[in-house]
Amino acid sequence: MAVGTLYNKIWDKHTVCELQTGQHQLFIGLHLIHEVTSPQACDMLRERGLPVLFPDRTVATVDHIIPTTDQSRPYHDAQAEAMAQALHDNTSEFKIRYFGVGSAEQGIVHVMGPEQGMVHPGMTVACGDSHTSTHGAFGTLAFGIGTTQVGDVLATQCLSMDPLKVRKVQIDGNLQTGVFAKDVILHVIRKLGVKGGIGYAYEYCGSTIKTMTMEERMTVCNMSIEGGARIGYINPDSITYAYLEGRPYAPSGEAWERAVQYWETIKSDQEARYDDEIQIYAEQIAPHITWGINPGQSVGIDESLPDPTLLPDGERQTAEHAYRHMNLKPGQSMNGVKIDVVFIGSCTNSRIEDLRAAATVAKGQKVPGHVRAIVVPGSRQVATQSESEGLHEVFIDAGFEWREPGCSMCLAMNPDRLEGSEISASTSNRNFIGRQGSPNGRTLLMSPQMAAAAAVNGQVTDVRTLAH
């Protein structure tokens, strides 16, 4: 049992009581909702005649189903329109703050919350979306939950939860040029496996993490869930505080000073005990790319693809399935694999630093005619910032489409999707079969710079070989 970690401290502070089931009743400090998983939960409240207990602790935005071309209502897709309308009606009925399309705050829920300064160290956060783990970057316990649980939080501001074990994932050293937070987390998942984190919270620490910006830390925490860990977090520090200070929903004035003092107390103790510890060396991480059908199936760009016969039983089957689906071969290199589509976006990699990094590669280049490349900023704020820096022009000049903010091709619930067996270079977080909208579609996950390099070369490219 871990002792003295940030996980333990926040968990204890938020435990209301132990339930008859043996689970803990955990108070949730910030609840984020979106159009896909909230309508059914609101129905449940109405069926039972329950109010929202603390409407001021829930914030709503719309992201999953919205088009990224023309965002005017009504949407062409009747179901998307019904969902957007349901969210609008529910938030007004239950008096929940709502950042709809057209507002300056709207964005992918995991981009919007942090950039508004709503996510403070020491909080518990919940959202009906598995990538809620993103918010752990701020030193929170941030849980992805199911729809019934969304109803629980609305009605009671609580979840019934089992305690987790804590694994210290220590990453030390400097990242090579061309290697990013995305590569770090793909490497971690590859090493520990997509099931390796089951039952654990991941505490990321070490000098590599310490020097990362908040946006990089969010990328790392975002994909914790892909390694099976329910949550991932990073202890807050001066970088966290500098990011938060001055944001609309961050504490200000004297409260800011008190907040920072408090946040310092919730960090993991020097002598904290963990259930497990692992060490990773940043120097050993190359730009990573997935070749298979789960995010653990990745290689460094200069490696060849693994021989399935050398893998353990379960992994071998998945690898063989992956090779069939992806139409790739053991032993081959990913370098040079032709691609059809490039998607730069999603809550993993659609923030301003991601777009700046991708733009550096795209600048002055031309996407070949056979490639469809889209850039989808994570929020209105990211879009506005990018446009003020002229990033959109860099992308447009290079032949990318510059879109409106939303989840887009991360899960293809809107019109952005792969067709047939198209293969995409994508900065999102999941390469599951069918994830990008076509049952035969194929997804290669990578960093924004690698995706931009794939776009301008029309094929997977080691970004380190491009001069820029």
Partner 1 sequence: MSDNKIVQITGKAIVIPGDDIDTDRIIPARFLKEITFVNLGKYPFFDERFDVDLKEKSHPFNDPNCRDAKILLVNKNFGCGSSREHAPQSLKRWGIDAIVGESFAEIFASNCITLGIPAVTVSSESIRAFQAETLEDVNLVWTVNLENSTVSSAKASAELHMPEHHKNTLRKGLWDSTSLLLENVDQVRRLYDQLPYTNHYGS
What residues does 277 pair with on adjacent strands?
Answer: 168
Binding residue for partner 1, selected from 2, 33, 52, 83, defined by CB under 8 A = 83
Chain positions 368 to 427 lying near ligand SF4, rule: CB under 6 A, are: 407, 410-411
Chain positions 429 to 458 lying near ligand SF4, rule: CB under 6 A, are: 429
C-beta closer to partner 1: residue 131 or 168 = 131
Chain positions 179 to 218 lying near partner 1, rule: CB under 8 A, are: 194-195, 198-199
With CB under 6 A as the rule, give the number of residues binding ligand SF4. Answer: 14
C-beta closer to ligand SF4: residue 178 or 227 = 227
Site string for partner 1, 376-405 (x = CB under 8 A): ------------------------------
Chain positions 110 to 129 lying near partner 1, rule: CB under 8 A, are: 120, 122-123, 128-129
**351 touches ligand SF4 by CB under 6 A:** no
Neighbours of 48 (CB within 10 A): 9
Residue 351 has, within 13 A of its CA and on its CB side, a CA count of: 22
Selected range binding ligand SF4 among 13-21, 107-115, 117-125, 315-323, rule: CB under 6 A? 107-115
C-beta closer to partner 1: residue 115 or 315 = 315
**96 touches ligand SF4 by CB under 6 A:** no
Q: Which residue has the tokens 């088009």?
A: 67
Among partner 1, ligand SF4, none, residue 110 binds (CB under 5-8 Å by kind): ligand SF4
**194 touches ligand SF4 by CB under 6 A:** no
C-beta closer to ligand SF4: residue 108 or 153 = 108
C-beta closer to ligand SF4: residue 225 or 334 = 225
Neighbours of 84 (CB within 10 A): 20
What residues does 126 pair with on adjacent strands?
Answer: 31, 143
Residues in CB range of 242: below 8 A, 6 or more apart: none
Among ligand SF4, partner 1, none, residue 437 binds (CB under 5-8 Å by kind): partner 1
C-beta closer to partner 1: residue 84 or 454 = 84
**236 touches partner 1 by CB under 8 A:** no
* Alpha-carbon gap, residue 101 to 361, rounded angstroms: 30
Among partner 1, ligand SF4, none, residue 242 binds (CB under 5-8 Å by kind): none
Chain positions 51 to 90 lying near ligand SF4, rule: CB under 6 A, are: 63-64
With CB under 8 A as the rule, give the number of residues binding partner 1. Answer: 81
In 3D space, the residue among 453, 448, 422, 450 whose CA is nearest the CA of residue 435 turns out to be: 422
Residues binding ligand SF4 (CB under 6 A): 63-64, 108-110, 129, 131, 346-347, 407, 410-411, 428-429
